[in-house]
Amino acid sequence: MALMTGEQYIASIRKRKMQVYMFGEKIENPVDDPILRPSLNSVRMTYDLAQMPEYQDLMTVISPDTGERINRFTHIHRSTEDLINKVKMQRLLGQKTAACFQRCVGMDAFNAVYSTAYEIDQKYGTPYFENFKKFMLYCQEKDLTVDGAMTDPKGDRSKAPHEQADPDLYLRVVERRKDGIVVCGAKAHQTGALNSHEVIVMPTISMGPEDKDYAVSFAVPMDAEGIYMIIGRQSCDTRKLENAPLDVGNEEFGGVEALVIFDHVFVPNDRIFLNGETEFAGMLVERFAGYHRQSYGGCKVGVGDVLIGAAAVAAEYNGAARASHVKDKLIEMTHLNETLYSCGIACSAEGKPTKSGNYMIDLLLANICKQNVTRFPYEIVRLAEDLAGGLVVTAPSEKDFRDPDLGPVIDKYLKGTENVSTENRLRILRLIENLALGTAAVGYRTESMHGAGSPQAQRIMISRQGNLAQKKELAKAIAHIAE
């Protein structure tokens, strides 16, 4: 079986015995939990679209290793066309869910580990590349969702991993056995871990020789013994418990984050991809970050498409669509959104093959892409709030709207244009609230800032990749300066 249906995916997650905690309680049935289910529906969309002939070229690809059709999320990029189609696929999914669909981190980890493991093997004769290929083929055959776990809690940022007062603040190897390793630590901000079959763990920073125990990459099932997760809160998450879908804004789809704890988790030898080769930790981090920053030129753009559309609808419902300033604001939102997409496509088109043969995006342009993502969505949100009007934050609840006495009053005074129902006006405003004001933090505004690394992390990479010395020589040549 190379491609699961959405129903099969849901059933496969239901079989997993994950240890999940939320609001101080263990969640025995995460699949049907009303707060968590929308995030599962978002991942399901990656399976449903792959079954549709009109999306086959974006959502699936023929594996060069097996000749079978596989989901693109389990694919190793073999060309710039693959890189471009990745971004196009992510935009499509953003448009269909208006939320985080969560499989990007695993796909980006796949490609970063693939090329890095190959180069470790070339230097040390290790079996990491073959280990990873075996894992990759398993995930392709089963069409598994894989979480990519990079971010450690980090503790005191001024200290290296081995210098921390608590050694578990960076995930580490605590025991090396003949048949594998045992690890302890945690990974924070884990997008989609709850809805994944497997997790690929990677180091989070470059490391020196003293950090050997922290330079580790591996894969284990999400329900492996010793793994448990604590679900992160999102603004307005408990609205989903109120049986008031109008208030939720995006009833069907959403995202989820978790703090994932690794409490003496055993990793067999054939699931290890890095184990103490500290000089390759930075390479793995840099490559994963590059791929993931490319991703934001697709997923954020797709969600942006929905927000721009919602703002335009709100303006129509308010009777303001013909105003010149409204048209200009929608043009500006579109300009910013398409600029993000242009960066995602550009870094893909400029991709080059690694030593392993898979394709790496242009790192400079990928970091430019993500740097813009830390800014442009905030302006798009500001303009959407402007066009929506104050009612986006002052509208009464659905219970008030459904009340036999209050409902007619709300309907009378909150109606916009004559041919649009008050309910539809409230629905579009709640969607804007969901996207713009943080009620769907995993998906657009807030996550645009720190997802795939902080803004400063991109600026550091831009400094490294910007080749200022070459630019200085170009200027000196034009000015006929000889030194």
Tokens of 20: 């999940």
Catalytic residue among 60, 74, 77, 100: 100
For residue 25, give the 3-state DSSP assignment: strand
Active site residue 104: yes
Active site residue 299: yes
Active site residue 433: no
Catalytic residue among 128, 292, 385, 433: 292
H helix or E strand, kind and range, residue 239: none
Catalytic residue among 114, 291, 296, 444: 296
Catalytic residue among 286, 398, 433, 447: 447
How many CA atoms lie within 13 Å of 245's alpha carbon, on the beta-carbon side?
Answer: 7
Active site residue 257: yes
Active site residue 204: no
Number of H helices, E strands in the chain: 18, 14
Cα–Cα distance measured from residue 317 to residue 328, given in angstroms and rounded to the nearest whole number? 18
46: burial class by Cβ within 10 Å (0-12, 13-18, 19+)?
Answer: buried
Tokens of 43: 């991942």
CB neighbours of 354 closer than 8 A, spacing ≥ 6? 115, 118, 119, 360
Position of tokens 């989609």? 192
How many CA atoms lie within 13 Å of 444's alpha carbon, on the beta-carbon side?
Answer: 37
Catalytic residue among 119, 257, 286, 398: 257
H-assigned helices in 182-323: 245-248, 281-318
Active site residue 277: no
Catalytic residue among 139, 184, 299, 347: 299
On whether the CB atoms of residues 192 and 149 are closer than 8 A, the answer is no
For residue 272, give the 3-state DSSP assignment: strand
Active site residue 100: yes
Catalytic residue among 60, 116, 151, 191: 191
Active site residue 296: yes
Catalytic residue among 60, 77, 97, 104: 104
Q: Which residues are catalytic?
A: 100, 104, 191, 257, 292, 296, 299, 447
